Structure 1
Amino acid sequence: MKEIKKESTLFVFEDLKALPSEILNLIHKAIEARKNAYAPYSNFQVGAALLLDNGEIITGNNQENASYPSGLCAERTAIYYAGSQYPDAKVLQMAISATAKNNPTETPIPPCGACRQAMVEYEIKQETPIAIYFMGEKGAVAKSNSISNLLPFTFDKSVLF
């Protein structure tokens, strides 16, 4: 037996004031998107904002449905929209803000596993990393230099052939 070990590295900013201005703008777009989330069942609102290499900023928020599996997370809403409307653009950075309506979060909330898988597909497709910043409603902001850093054992097309 051999051991395989993979590590992930995150950088944590203590609050929004510590962020570079371009990231702060992206975070504010994610926060605004979060406020418009449709989450009547979970009361957990998530907003995402993507900066594309053409300068466009795409936002998305979670959209729930009474049939829970039919909803869609903010991150996938945004990245799928970017892929359909700007198929040749690269995603440079992504910002996410998440909170529960009845229990505001102050710690960084990372994307779920399904979103990580969807986002890493775009990172692989564009052959460049996507920097991701994520936070709760307020407080610290975590940064990963790539989506694959958050999904170290990536499932990709190489296993399908």
Structure 2
Amino acid sequence: MESYTERNDYDRSKLIKAALEVLPRSYAPYSHFNVGAAVLMDNGEMYTGVNIENAAYSATICAERTAIFKAIAADKNAKIVALAVVGGKDYTVTDYCVPCGICRQVMREFAEPDHMQVIVAKSVTDYKAMSLAELLPMSFGPNMLG
């Protein structure tokens, strides 16, 4: 059976819509920059996440990592096919919200860079899609450790 990665036929609008729908659950009382994410795994499951801030800033977690960690907790062998991310000040999406460096590295841990799509969106119809390899060139991954 072909994976979603090989077929590349998943519904981008469904992934973006899920990220937009979860955005109001974001907890960002300090930065007021709210982020929602949705990740599609190669087993067909989709998981969402939001950023969750903490008064001790280092304890904060991004939406992308929240969604990815939920997915891996459900099936540690699944690989990421695509991830959509939306965000903006006070829950208002006005520009593309790209994943931070830490999130990009976490994506690399659970995806094949050339086969994973990262979608940054303003809306279901206004988005940019790129491979993780484009977003994180010359990446360091699990294959380098053994």
Aligned to 2:49: 60
Ranges in structure 2 where 5+ consecutive residues have no aligned partner? 1-8
Q: Runs ≥4 in structure 1, deviation > 6 angstroms?
A: none
Q: How many residues align?
A: 138
TM-score (norm 2): 0.82
RMSD of Structure 2 on Structure 1 (CA): 2.5
Q: 1:154 is matched by which residue type in structure 2?
A: S
TM-score (norm 1): 0.75
Distance 1:82 1:132 in 2: 16
Deviation at 1:154, TM superposition (A): 1.0
Deviation at 1:30, TM superposition (A): 0.2
Deviation at 1:160, TM superposition (A): 5.3
Aligned to 1:13: none
The structure whose RCO (Cα within 8 Å, separation 6+) is larger is 1
2:130 pairs with 1:141: no
2:138 pairs with 1:153: yes
SS of the aligned residue for 1:152 comes to coil
Deviation at 1:155, TM superposition (A): 2.2
Deviation at 1:85, TM superposition (A): 1.0
Q: Percent identity?
A: 37
Task: Specify the structure having the higher radius of gyration (Cα).
Answer: 1
Q: Deviations over 1:111-140 (max 9, x none)?
A: 01111111111114xx86211111246873
